[in-house]
Structure 1
């Protein structure tokens, strides 16, 4: 037995500082304009699911904007051709809670979306999500519960994008935080400047 194993929340928190209030409050429950802009620029996301065989994380990718907001609380994720194991879809049938992590090449920040999913074969929606003349077999509809930006530290530390530059038009972390934080007025320009400094001084 590992004498250093952590088995309680109190034991865990003894090893970490309490999170700043701004990180607790940076969550919204809808797909507002800045979140939609980020998703529209994203060609890749990871779908996290869990079922009777445990968790699965599956990559999903296509042209930027392949995941479509249908309204401010619903995302449509087309299921493109794959190996037909259907691990994630099987999980959704058993347990509809899902998480999505959106990435954009050249951008350090990621966007996290949590919610519940269902699978549809709606012909009109499948046609709307077609690519190269081929409609997906199904579309995963995610009822959004939480949306928030995740900071760039992991991407920076890993040098995932190398020297690739940030595409124009992608909202900054300051803009995302300002849009997602309830009950407080945040200056996105000032927040972004402070955030960039924190990335330098608090990377490790």
Structure 2
């Protein structure tokens, strides 16, 4: 048997966690954690619902996730594909996790908490960008926050410019749709996509 099926078996393989890694998990923000959030232009939002899990990217100018206080964040919802998978999950299960990334920085910040979808005009105004209000915003109560060391980013050489992949070397969005639909006009889609990206980010 090679599959681990109990916590005891898992503990036997990995042993105890280091005290330092346990102590850096806090129930509120401290100034260094605030600095990481304020510098981050990109966060991954994880949620769970009755149909399964969702992991969704969110991005904007650094500081787009607003710190309301040491235990509360505000995440504006920008236009997307309107699937609203994350929001559907949050209506039924408010537990969420956030992973903040900062270009050029190996460390990341993990935040776990409970979210509510708000239409409060005060919070929507706080999320205004490019002259436009978000349709809604997530008000997130922090339960734990924890900074992640740089090992994963270093192994991946994530921010090494020489490791960047040429976009043309991979299938485009149109190419992917061509494999999904029986008949699909890739050229028309790619042309329209560039226009949509220019006009519908906010």
Q: TM-score, normalised by structure 2?
A: 0.78
Q: Does residue 110 of structure 1 match 2:70?
A: no
Match of 2:51 among 42, 50, 53: 53
Counterpart residue number, 1:81: 79
User: Which sections of structure 1, spanning at least 5 residues, go unmatched?
Assistant: 165-204
Match of 1:100 among 81, 98, 101: 98
1:20-39 equivalences under 5 Å are: 20-39=18-37
1:112-151 equivalences under 5 Å are: 112-151=110-149
Question: What RMSD, in angstroms, separates the aligned Cα atoms of the two structures?
Answer: 1.1
Deviation at 1:41, TM superposition (A): 0.2
Distance 1:25 1:71 in 2: 21
Runs of 4+ in 1 over 4 A off after TM superposition: none
Q: Does residue 8 of structure 1 match 2:10?
A: no
User: Which sections of structure 2, spanning at least 5 residues, go unmatched?
Assistant: 163-202
1:155-166 equivalences under 5 Å are: 155-163=153-161
Distance 1:10 1:19 in 2: 14
Partner-residue secondary structure (3-state), 1:46: strand
Deviation at 1:5, TM superposition (A): 1.1
Distance 1:125 1:141 in 2: 9
Partner-residue secondary structure (3-state), 1:142: strand
More helix by share: 2
Greater shift, 79-88 or 10-19, is seen at: 10-19
